[in-house]
Every structure is written in C-alpha cells, then in structure tokens.
Amino acid sequence: MEETYWYGLIGGVLIGAASVLALWATSKIPGISGIFAKALNPRDGDFKWRIAFLAGMILSAAILFLISDRADTYRIPEGRGWIAYAIAGLLVGFGTRCGGGCTSGHGVCGVGLGARDSIIATIVFMVAGMVTVYLFKMIGGAA
C-alpha cells in the first residue's frame, strides 16, 4: 500500500478521535460547518468552545505546515482562480446549512452513528462533487 494511504488512514484516525472527544465533551454533533456557522453568533451560549475548537484546528495545522513537508503539500487544481474559490465558498456555506452538515458532520459523525439522512447526504455531495469535477474537466480541459 502506498505511503500516502497510510497517512490518510492515520489522519482519519485522528479525525475520528477528535470527533468522539468533541461529541463526548459537548454532547453536540461536531460537524465543522455547524461549529463554524454557530460560532458566527456570539450570543450563543456555546460560543466559547466552538471558538476554542476552531482555534485548535488552525493552530495544529499551522505547526504541522511548518514542520512537515507532507502536511504542507498544497496544490491548486488547474483552472481555479480566486473567483472559483469565492463561488465555492458561497456554495459550500449555503449548501452545508441548507443540508445540515458537511464532510465531517454528515460524512463522519452521521454515518458513524448510522443516521440514514447523513448516509444519503454523503452520497449526494460525493456524487455532486464528482459530477462537478467531471464537468469542469470537460469545459475547462483540466481537473
């Protein structure tokens, strides 16, 4: 098995452990889109732990980017400029709130809890992502 896949598996184990720890500590499904969305509202009583979680995500990533070339690998797919990222941000923000979760909330926690709605959401966003990449490749000539 390729080394990259092992790192994927190890990273996945860390993500799973983080999700279990956060769910255990807060009794809230720790989806990143939900944590971020609700952290936008400072009146929320859970504001502080949400900010702490997000700060941790940025802090550990910042350290690993500095000390690990593997973690620091960062390539922008061909044909994606800043306009593409602005549109992507709008769609991801709107879509995750409309659909009630993202890759972590539905994909890891929801599927891990055996929730039927999360399994369906995960299939839908994966297929939508694949179709988008395919169409982008057809139109722009690059993936």
69 counts as binding other proteins under rule CB under 8 A: no
Alpha carbon distances (Å) from 113 to 18, 108, 110: 15, 8, 5
Q: For other proteins, which residue of 45, 69, 71, 141 counts as binding (CB under 8 A)?
A: 71
How far apart CA 33 and CA 11 sit, in angstroms, is: 19
- CA neighbor of 106 nearest in space, from 84, 87, 128, 134: 128
Q: Which of residues 4-23 bind other proteins (CB under 8 A)?
A: 4-23
Residue of 42, 74, 139, 141 interacting with other proteins (CB under 8 A): 74
- Number of chain residues interacting with other proteins (CB under 8 A): 111
140 near other proteins (CB under 8 A): no
| Distance in Å, CB of 47 to other proteins, minimum | 10
Minimum gap (Å) between residue 135 Cβ and other proteins: 8
Rounded Cα distance between 117 and 9, Å, is 25
Among 42, 43, 69, 73, binds other proteins (CB under 8 A): 73
Closest CA to 121 of 136, 143, 99: 99
Q: Is 38 in the site for other proteins (CB under 8 A)?
A: yes
Angstrom distance (rounded) from CA 104 to CA 112: 10
Of 43, 54, 139, 141, which lies in the binding site for other proteins, with binding defined by CB under 8 A? 54
* Separation CA 83–CA 34 (nearest Å): 25
Pick from 69, 104, 139, 141: which binds other proteins (CB under 8 A)? 104
